[in-house]
Structure 1
Amino acid sequence: MDKVIFDTDPGVDDALALYYLLRHPGIGLIGVTTVFGNAPVAVTTRNARFLLREWGADVPVHAGAAGPITPDMPPEFFPAHIHGENGLGDHPIDMPVTEVADEAAQYLVDTIRAHPGQIRILAVGRMTNLARALQIDPGIAGLVRDVVLMGGAFREPGNITPAAEANIWGDPLAADIVFGAAWPVVAVPLDLTTRTFLDRRQLDRLARDGGPGMRLVADLSQGYVRFYQGVGYDGMLVHDATAAVYLTDPDLFTTVAGQVRVLSDGIAMGLTLMNPADRQGPAGAWEGRPAQQATLDGDPQAILDRIARICTG
């Protein structure tokens, strides 16, 4: 069973990804680390604890970064119009928001050191916790089995600016550090996730067939669905759950490899640029960077089917 740490900012689609991880028989979720993003970190931490409690999962939650390491970032924009004021679609939550200690980066270092070669990291928010863990102890990169992240837009336009996907844009320097470390990274970007669309009828069927756990996901997703209806979809994109499926079923994805840089200032801040492995030319800013992977294609229907099977099985 794979040992997985889930780095997350719940967030509605984060909730579906978390439920998938908990339900999958091949995943041993050993820890959750939280970061700012869809809401402030105290809220995302409360949300992770609430979801785990509701699903009866005894998994420790470690709060992390409250803001980016990228200097001179614009003020943080929390997308309440997408994820609700409480981050979970304004679904009632009977758990208060409290102050949290910033411990996720050190937790990552300690856990990776305790399980060399075994830890898989799924990161579906800002990459700040991972970057700060590397700053504490760069040697952990050689001890991680792999890092799968939801983030980036390599050939498609971004979803927060024309250049940038939200997770990368929120802390572009952190993302550049993560892509440049000597651990294997697979990015699951908008190029694929914008084609993994769970329509309303499918969501209703999952809620009907999946029992109380999946009904909670469907209930807290209703505001998310209304947002997507406003932009022409009758359902919701499942960005983070798509990345979760890569952990268990990489055969459903098509990857390309190359060095990746992330721009951290200017009009294209947050742009993910890949230098393909077969490109011949000056090294320049790519010098010494490892080749990483991005899933620019895949089988969206098979990915959705896998989510449905695990979450209702």
Structure 2
Amino acid sequence: MFAAIPDSEALDIALGLAVRAPSVHNTQPWRWRPTPTGIQLFADPDRHLTATDPYQRALIISCGAALHHLRTALAALSWSTGVEYCPDPTDPDHLATVHTTRQRPSTAQIEQAAAILLRRTDRRRYLPRPIPAGHIRALAAQASAYGAAVRQVPDPLLPRLADPMRHAAELHSADPAYQAEIARWSGPGRAADGVPVRNAPAPRHTGEIPVRGFAEPALLDPADQPDGAQWLVVGTPYDDRRAQLRAGEAISALLLTATGLGLATSLQTEPLGMLDSRQEIRTGLLHDCAYPQAMVRVGWAAGSLAPLAETPRRPVADVMAA
């Protein structure tokens, strides 16, 4: 009879892949606690970005992405997973408990786990090359499996996304608390978390859709190349913690699938921390039918540019809960 929980070696491998999930400012705001009956996931409120993410939405989505990374890694290691979401009403930071049973992994599950090691957040401009419609459908299908919907923003509607993004960037540029968070979580000397200079390009030209800026950017991004990125908006029908956690899983599945298809991606959430900008995106692009949880830039990276370096990650021992 097979054991109901992974052994320590499998668990170390799975958690080592889980911590590679994307997170806001690469804060890695999660903690894990293996127990005899399941693997518990907690939010780490000490890593809450109060100016960037005042409602903890991006923090919970980040934890959801790590949850999906864990489940993906366990699936490739022959473990099927079920999740209890928000299992303890008395502890809102206890986001999920993962239960495991033995399974035989599929080829698709193994390939998705392999994509964890290849995925990077690429904030550079992408080539002006169309993305096949079948690729977009594959990304949307991955998100829908976790209760989220994906809206591709057509070119005529890009101003409905660009305007609130520019508005948020302008307000943040004059916000001392936000600028202090950027300075704390990016720049030189990042060894275990945050956004190092090698992963941050210079700010965009005025006419382009902005992407979040970081301290002392040093990543080469040819300014003479127009950005050929397509923009996707990921939304959910509800907006509680469970929905945000599931959105994080959906985003992780989308990003890993895009990586497997050879696409570059960059997760963007800057305007969603502001109620008016978020509502503008919800109304203008989602017709008030879903709550926007993140935007994803997706496209083809220029082959002439150097491969992106990995962003730093904390050791698994540092993200274990007491």
**TM-score, normalization by structure 2:** 0.28
Relative contact order (C-alpha < 8 Å, sep 6+): which is higher?
A: 2
